[in-house]
Structure 1
């Protein structure tokens, strides 16, 4: 457990997969797809999950709020963001 996870646990906040468990099914699916594919764009996630882009965007926002997904700009196309799961796989 990292220091930030320990502090969050003391404060009663959920971290990692425990935090994901409380999210909507779409966010869980996006998290699982990211677990198996290290880094994907929003459009790639929509293609992999078969979810509408708007639903994927909502799921990513929820996952980022929980601190389990990080995003960064793509070097090959600055208009796109790359999403990575920040929690360890089971």
Structure 2
């Protein structure tokens, strides 16, 4: 199940060679990938993030400076609906 979810999240990623972006096209991918696949907890004071990874550092900075916590939760809810739709289409429902 975890692999199916990660693959479905990957399908939300815009067609780009970049690993991270901040445009609207990246919204749902970022909101789901970084917290649930990469393990990023952008609003946690106790979280120990790998700041040596430039992609993680850029995503963390973007979440903390540009994305209010409530907005992230809204994007995650909308992204989860897209994932559910993707999974339903995969099983032919």
Q: State the TM-score, normalized to the length of structure 2.
A: 0.36
Q: State the TM-score, normalized to the length of structure 1.
A: 0.37
* Structure showing the higher helix proportion among its residues: 2
* Structure showing the higher strand proportion among its residues: 1
